[in-house]
Amino acid sequence: MNKSIAVIRGDGIGPEIVGQAMGVLDAVAAKYGHSFSYKEAPMGGNAIDAFGVPLPEESLKTCMESDSVLLGAVGGPKWDAQPSANRPERGLLKLRGAMGLYTNVRPARMFADLSAACPLRADIAAKGIDFVVVRELIGGVYFGSHATETVDGEQKATDIMAYTEHEIRRVAHVAFQMAQKRRGRVTSVDKANVLDTSRLWRRVVGEVASEYPDVELLHMYVDNAAMQIVRDPSQFDVIVTENLFGDILSDEASQITGSIGMIPSSSMGEGKRGLYEPIHGSAPDIAGQDKANPIGTILAAAMMLRYSFDMAAEADAVEAAVDAVLKEGYRCGDILQSGGTLVGCCEMGRLIRAHI
């Protein structure tokens, strides 16, 4: 198969980790007889520097015309003084919105070989961690109106959180269908004791649930969910939640698996085109030093193979290669435990390619 991939290297460690993921994709192409063509789509702080805006029209066009998009990470302190409408992150939000990517899937799975890196008590970790956060990605407070004004001689800031029924319903369907292929349990997370958007969320998710009698639905307040994720993560199978809650809970969920550096994500809408990225940020403190862990991005590339290109065997091969390298004891700095062999970003990529 021939597939076109838009490549957003981004800022900080982005270019390093994306380079390694592309190397793994090339190894897959060589082994399985595919060809992947790449087209650069500058976005983030580097795009502000070069073009004055975080998401140039040309980059958006490249993404919309490709079969899929691979992204490293954007942002960094260099662009902190940008007006909020021109921050690097705005480019990412605009891209998600323009591509209609309403479902963000972030798996929280503990790798057997990394259980020592899990910060939870051993008896909690022993019960295993294997759940998925399904985050609504183009609604809620991220996409409501934002304003800062002067009122009575002081600054006042407002961010509007809004949801419509169809925005809730479409992502709920994705969560229930995912649970059907997993362990049949959806936990819907909201703050229905305080927020109107959450009360609507709870009602609509409940209605969608009636179409999936084989899936069990639980509702949970977000504060309780944040606590339950560290108290007993084994109770979760699929968590579905709105944009901001999902942003926060998915970072928490990733860290209990050992390292945020390991976790990929997919963002999809209708159709097969998706945006694939690690869930961590641009880590400017270690940028350019060959210290970044490329595994989150490599596993994001595996998700691209599986969900956008229907290449299940190829995706399995990438995941197996990551498992094999971990089993051999190779570790980047973020997941290094005593007894492991410390390797840099390039070497980790090379080791994984060698197993494809």
Which CB sits closer to Mg ion, 237 or 247? 247
DSSP element (H, E) containing 254: helix 243-256
Interface with ligand IPM (CB under 6 A) = 75, 89, 92, 247, 279
Which CB sits closer to Mg ion, 167 or 247? 247
> From the CB of 104, what's the least distance to ligand IPM, in Å?
7
State the number of binding residues for Mg ion (CB under 5 A): 1
Instruction: Note whether 247 binds Mg ion by CB under 5 A.
Output: yes
Which CB sits closer to ligand IPM, 7 or 263? 263
> Please, what is the Cα angle at 263 between 259 and 265, to 5 degrees?
155
Which CB sits closer to ligand IPM, 26 or 89? 89
> From the CB of 152, what's the least distance to ligand IPM, in Å?
31
For the chain, the distance separating the N- and C-terminal CA atoms, rounded to the nearest angstrom, is 18
Rounded Cα distance between 232 and 129, Å, is: 9
User: Of ligand IPM, Mg ion, none, which one sits near residue 16, judging by CB under 5 to 8 A according to partner kind?
Assistant: none
Say which of 3, 102, 113, 142 is annotated catalytic: 142
> From the CB of 92, what's the least distance to ligand IPM, in Å?
5
232 is catalytic: no
> From the CB of 89, what's the least distance to ligand IPM, in Å?
4
> From the CB of 271, what's the least distance to Mg ion, in Å?
24
* Nearest CA-CA partner of 276 in 98, 87, 106: 106
> From the CB of 199, what's the least distance to ligand IPM, in Å?
24
Say which of 113, 190, 237, 247 is annotated catalytic: 247
User: Of ligand IPM, Mg ion, none, which one sits near residue 89, judging by CB under 5 to 8 A according to partner kind?
Assistant: ligand IPM
Stretch that binds Mg ion, among 217-225, 243-251, 320-328, 333-341 (CB under 5 A): 243-251
Would you tell me how many other CB atoms lie within 10 Å of the CB of residue 333? 16
221 is catalytic: no
Say which of 26, 130, 251, 323 is annotated catalytic: 251
Which CB sits closer to ligand IPM, 14 or 340? 14
- Helix 88-99 to helix 57-65 angle (10° resolution) is 40
CB-CB contact of 349 with 19 (8 Å): yes
31 is catalytic: no
Which CB sits closer to ligand IPM, 89 or 347? 89
Q: Which residues pair with 219 in a beta bridge?
A: 188
251 is catalytic: yes
The residue type found at 175 is A
93, two tokens: 């939000």
191 is catalytic: yes
φ, ψ for residue 83, nearest 5 deg: -60, 150
CB-CB contact of 171 with 203 (8 Å): no
CB-CB contact of 192 with 199 (8 Å): yes
> Please, what is the Cα angle at 198 between 197 and 201, to 5 degrees?
90
Rounded Cα distance between 294 and 20, Å, is: 6
The residue type found at 218 is L
Which residues are part of the catalytic machinery?
142, 191, 223, 247, 251
Residues in touch with Mg ion (CB under 5 A): 247
